[in-house]
Amino acid sequence: MTGPLDGVTVVDFSQFLAGPYAALRLLDLGARVIKVEQPDRGDLCRYHYVSDTRIDGESTLFHAINRGKESLTLDLKSPEGRARAHRLVAVADVVIQNFRPGVIDRLGLSYATASALRPGLVYGSISGYGESGDWAGLPGQDLLAQARSGVMGLSGNRGQGPVPVGLPLADIAAGACLAQGLLAGLYRQARSGIGAHVQTSLLEALIDLQFEFLSTWMNNGRVPPQRLAQGSAHGYLAAPYGVYDTAKGHLALAMTPLPALAEALDQPGLAEPLADLDAFRDREAIRALLQAVFATRSADAWERDLGARGIWCARVRDWPDMLAEGGPAVAGMLRPAGDLARVAAPLRIDGVRPEPALRGPGLNEHGAALASEFGLG
């Protein structure tokens, strides 16, 4: 089965995570992705080890983000390398780059240059903080972008200080934003022949992820969200929303009317004190009342019994739990068998999930074949 982007050629000059993630999403939809790397060591991601686990001497992260791509090395600082890059761009449908603002222009591969070489080109750019302003030249790195975006103030409990999200949130979100824009550009390209320059940044992606909170903050007199002392999950939602300790494990509790929860807990003595408390103003007091009840049984028992009564709740699970219990969605994405355990695409088309390639390419693995195919010399 071919994907909907079968026949689309993507030339990816980006490295590390944000740009390569956008290219990966297009690859999973059927596009061909040619990864252009520097000749000496290639993409920094090859050597950025997130653990001591390596595949053929290279980072597992590199293979996860670059599986199924073709590798070609070009020295973009040399006239010969730039000339070869130009010939490649001239036959591309999509070009992706995530250099700091101004660098791609100095390398002779700006949108203006690339679109002149290939009219109708869809060109994607990711930066750290946009192309202008005081932050434009700063390093576009995930943790630093989180620090500048305000997102660190939303997680964790009151008194903890800033809590970074334990994932490369900015990189993945920016890559997803770029992929969305590139798909829109390809649609316009197919309909009219007109290309597009799609631009986003780590900062813009993190602002987008916070749209609910920021919209509230800008309209409520700029009253910030308030984290609970314990079990905090959403600074603007009323009690009982949050995570509770139980006799064994933890229980997450979503939006639930307090009278319905008191009835489901089979605790008649709770109804009256809860009725005297405001779900927003008295979140800490409400949590203390509920915590005393939840501590009497296991999270498994609460999930089973409260779920049967229509209460939205879930036992907090770890990865092995998710793998064991998550069903087809988990089994379809997590591929633990084979030479390299990998994660497949988070989508299905006509009921079929794109099959993930086993690994990323060796450095310049496809150089000779690509040079011959595209006349790169």
Question: What amino acid is encoded at 146 in this protein?
Answer: Q
What is the Cα–Cα distance from 96 to 138, expressed in whole angstroms? 20
Could you tell me the two tokens for 342? 């990998």
What is the Cα–Cα distance from 137 to 303, expressed in whole angstroms? 49
**Which of 199, 170, 200, 182 is closest to 29 using CA atoms?**
182
Largest CA distance in the chain: 82
What pLDDT, on the 0 to 100 scale, is given for residue 50? Answer: 65
Whole-angstrom CA distances from 182 to 3, 28, 101, 203, 237 are 16, 14, 19, 18, 35
Question: What amino acid is encoded at 81 in this protein?
Answer: G
What is the Cα–Cα distance from 238 to 21, expressed in whole angstroms? 36
Element (H, E) at 11: strand 9-12
* DSSP assignments along 29-69, one per residue: TT-EEEEEE-TTT--GGGG--SSS-EETTEEHHHHHHHTT-
**Which of 165, 234, 163 is closest to 205 using CA atoms?**
165
Order of all β-strands in the sheet with 250-253: 242-245, 250-253, 313-315
Q: For the chain, first and last CA: distance in Å?
A: 34
What is the Cα–Cα distance from 68 to 199, expressed in whole angstroms? 25
Low-confidence ranges of the chain (pLDDT < 70): 1, 49-52, 337-339
Taking only the tens place, the pLDDT of each residue in 207-238 is 999 999 999 999 999 999 999 999 999 999 99
Taking only the tens place, the pLDDT of each residue in 78-125 is 999 999 999 999 999 999 999 999 999 999 999 999 999 999 999 999
Give strand pairing partners of 313: 253
What pLDDT, on the 0 to 100 scale, is given for residue 57? Answer: 77
What pLDDT, on the 0 to 100 scale, is given for residue 48? Answer: 76
For the packed helices 169-192 and 142-149, what is the interaxial angle rounded to 10 degrees? 90
What pLDDT, on the 0 to 100 scale, is given for residue 14? Answer: 98
Write out the catalytic residue numbers: 171
What pLDDT, on the 0 to 100 scale, is given for residue 17? Answer: 95
The structure's pTM equals 0.90
What pLDDT, on the 0 to 100 scale, is given for residue 341? Answer: 86
Q: Domains plus CATH for the chain?
A: 9-209+351-374 (3.40.50.10540), 250-315 (no CATH)
